């Protein structure tokens, strides 16, 4: 009966471990989608994208140019200026004989006209020019030119629009290359909106499944731990402590491999009025990170500074290696007299248990530091590159992830395991002495 019950609980824990592994894979998949969403919606592609600002400026001013109309008073001024200009041309080139003299001099130089005839022609044309009455026709000519300008007013708008595009985009107007296209294509889409909708739906679906699986895994593992306590007398102290140690290993594995915290800072929206038109940007990511304890330690150990490597090794040591060794030794301790008599084993089992909550504190502080340091650095860095002078309002979507729950639960079970081993050893000592 004892063996059967122990094997049933062990089988249940193995099933819980399997469901926990599936849960870990789901969180990895969800994290991947979240990271892609953060990447394709980074603020660099929106508010801080100069090419996008140019495109929006062209759209705004194109609408303004399309509504462009020269006021009637302006045409009156144009007509007056044309009369002044044509009159000055008439006096400078025609009435003075300058234009006729220039043509005749050119003909004389080319040999097409002799000097005597040339002089006669100059006198004749200069005298007749005054009799043409051309000056009286200047107002009519100016009015005709003004009407022609008015008729071609739509062409002026086109020239202005083309000039604006050439000014902003030089010789390649409106040719903006979206560097995110490979990502869209990877998920079978061609636009940002389609990719966002698809990935957001995937994240939401996985979120629901993950929340359900967390409850299932938690219920299985902790339910069987509670069953171990209730059947302590039936299966014995050795089996109870071994099973609880195995449950702790499951929780430790999930705690160090699943994300501890999601750091998510976004620009919820941005609007400003520009030349009577509203310029708006949708939600954009300023910073996003989702890391497990193993991810963080790996990043630190690969870092350039020796201080980062030391901190990474310490976190790996106290949050992963030592807890695992302690749990394994706790189980072996129950079955091996050699281990029970080892001072090193007793030190690890009894004294290192004091670090169970300390490592949580260290990890919590470190994760908070990494997260908020990243937010501040990224936010200030982006704003520092932005020369518009506008303040940026952000929203914080940061939250604790499943890894924090499992890791904290492991720490509590680890303390309980140490207490149970101590009592079990005391009981065994009394039985031996008696």
The pLDDT confidence band at residue 17, using thresholds 50, 70 and 90, is: very high
Cα–Cα distance for residue pair 61/68, rounded to 1 Å: 10
- For residue range 44-54, list pLDDT tens digits in order: 787 777 666 66
According to DSSP H, which parts of 283-321 are helical? 293-301, 306-316
Count the neighbouring beta carbons within 10 Å of the beta carbon of residue 301. Answer: 15
Cα–Cα distance for residue pair 285/43, rounded to 1 Å: 6
- For residue range 91-132, list pLDDT tens digits in order: 777 677 776 677 677 766 776 666 666 666 666 666 666 666
Minimal CA–CA distance to 261: which of 360, 353, 354?
360
pLDDT at 399 over 80: no
- For residue range 338-364, list pLDDT tens digits in order: 766 777 766 666 666 555 444 555 555
Beta-carbon contacts of residue 261 (< 8 Å; ≥ 6 apart): 290, 291, 367, 368, 371, 398, 399, 400, 401, 404
Which stretches does DSSP call E strand in 357-404?
Answer: 395-396, 399-400
CB 241 within 8 A of CB 75: no
Cα–Cα distance for residue pair 242/3, rounded to 1 Å: 13
CA atoms within 13 A on the CB side of 405: 11
Name the phi and psi angles at 399, rounded to 5.
-160, 160
The pLDDT confidence band at residue 389, using thresholds 50, 70 and 90, is: very low
pLDDT the model gives residue 278 = 64
pLDDT top residue among 3 and 75: 3
Cα–Cα distance for residue pair 420/415, rounded to 1 Å: 9
pLDDT the model gives residue 15 = 95
The pLDDT confidence band at residue 317, using thresholds 50, 70 and 90, is: confident
Count the neighbouring beta carbons within 10 Å of the beta carbon of residue 78. Answer: 16
CB 422 within 8 A of CB 350: yes
Average pLDDT value over all residues in the chain: 75
pLDDT top residue among 25 and 260: 25
pLDDT the model gives residue 176 = 59
Cα–Cα distance for residue pair 290/381, rounded to 1 Å: 20
CA 152, 153, 158, 159 torsion: positive or negative?
A: positive
pLDDT the model gives residue 295 = 84
Number of H helices, E strands in the chain: 17, 6
The pLDDT confidence band at residue 185, using thresholds 50, 70 and 90, is: very high
pLDDT the model gives residue 118 = 61
Token duo for residue 65: 């140019």
Count the neighbouring beta carbons within 10 Å of the beta carbon of residue 283. Answer: 13
pLDDT the model gives residue 301 = 85
The pLDDT confidence band at residue 391, using thresholds 50, 70 and 90, is: very low
CA 161 to chain centroid? 33
Over pLDDT 90: what percentage of the chain? 17
pLDDT the model gives residue 224 = 92
Q: What is the mean pLDDT of residues 25-42?
A: 91
pLDDT at 215 over 60: yes
CB 10 within 8 A of CB 243: yes
Cα–Cα distance for residue pair 99/79, rounded to 1 Å: 25
């Amino acid at each position: 009966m004892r063996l059967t019950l122990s094997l049933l609980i062990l089988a249940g824990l193995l099933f819980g471990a399997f469901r926990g592994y599936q849960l870990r894979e789901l969180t990895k998949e969800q994290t991947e989608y979240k990271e892609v969403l953060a990447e394709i919606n980074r603020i660099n592609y929106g508010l801080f994208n100069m090419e996008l600002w140019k495109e929006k400026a062209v759209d705004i001013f194109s609408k303004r140019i399309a509504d462009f109309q020269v006021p009637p008073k302006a045409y009156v001024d144009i007509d007056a200026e044309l009369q002044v200009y044509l009159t000055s041309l008439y006096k400078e080139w025609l009435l003075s004989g300058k234009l006729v003299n220039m043509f005749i001099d050119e003909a004389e130089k080319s040999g097409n006209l002799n000097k005597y005839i040339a002089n006669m022609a100059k006198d004749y044309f200069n005298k007749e020019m005054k009799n043409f009455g051309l000056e009286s026709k200047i107002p009519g000519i100016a009015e005709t030119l003004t009407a022609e300008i008015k008729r071609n007013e739509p062409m002026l708008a086109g020239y202005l629009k083309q000039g604006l595009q050439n000014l902003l985009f030089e010789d390649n107007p409106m040719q903006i290359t979206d560097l995110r296209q490979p990502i869209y294509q990877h998920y079978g889409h061609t636009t940002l909106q389609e990719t966002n909708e698809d990935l957001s739906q995937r994240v939401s679906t996985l979120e629901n499944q993950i929340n359900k699986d967390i409850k299932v895994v938690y219920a299985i593992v902790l339910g069987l731990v509670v069953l171990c306590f209730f059947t302590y007398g039936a299966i014995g102290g050795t089996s109870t402590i071994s099973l609880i140690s195995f449950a702790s290993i499951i929780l430790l594995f999930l705690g160090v491999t699943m994300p501890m915290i999601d750091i998510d800072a976004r620009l919820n929206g941005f609007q400003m009025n520009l030349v009577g038109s509203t310029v708006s940007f949708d939600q954009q990511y300023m910073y996003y990170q989702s890391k497990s304890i193993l991810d963080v330690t790996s990043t630190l150990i690969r870092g350039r500074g020796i201080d980062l490597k030391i901190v990474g090794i310490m976190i790996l040591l106290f949050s992963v290696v030592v807890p695992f060794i302690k749990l394994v030794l706790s189980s072996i301790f129950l079955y091996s007299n050699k281990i029970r008599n080892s001072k090193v084993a007793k030190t690890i089992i009894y004294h290192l248990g004091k670090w169970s909550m300390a490592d949580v504190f260290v990890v919590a502080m470190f994760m908070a530091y990494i997260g908020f340091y990243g937010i501040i650095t990224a936010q200030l860095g982006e704003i520092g590159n932005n020369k518009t002078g506008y303040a940026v309002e952000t929203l914080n979507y940061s939250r604790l992830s499943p890894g924090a729950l499992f890791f904290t639960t492991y720490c509590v079970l680890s303390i309980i395991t140490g207490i149970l081993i101590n009592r079990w050893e005391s009981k065994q000592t009394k039985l031996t002495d008696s």
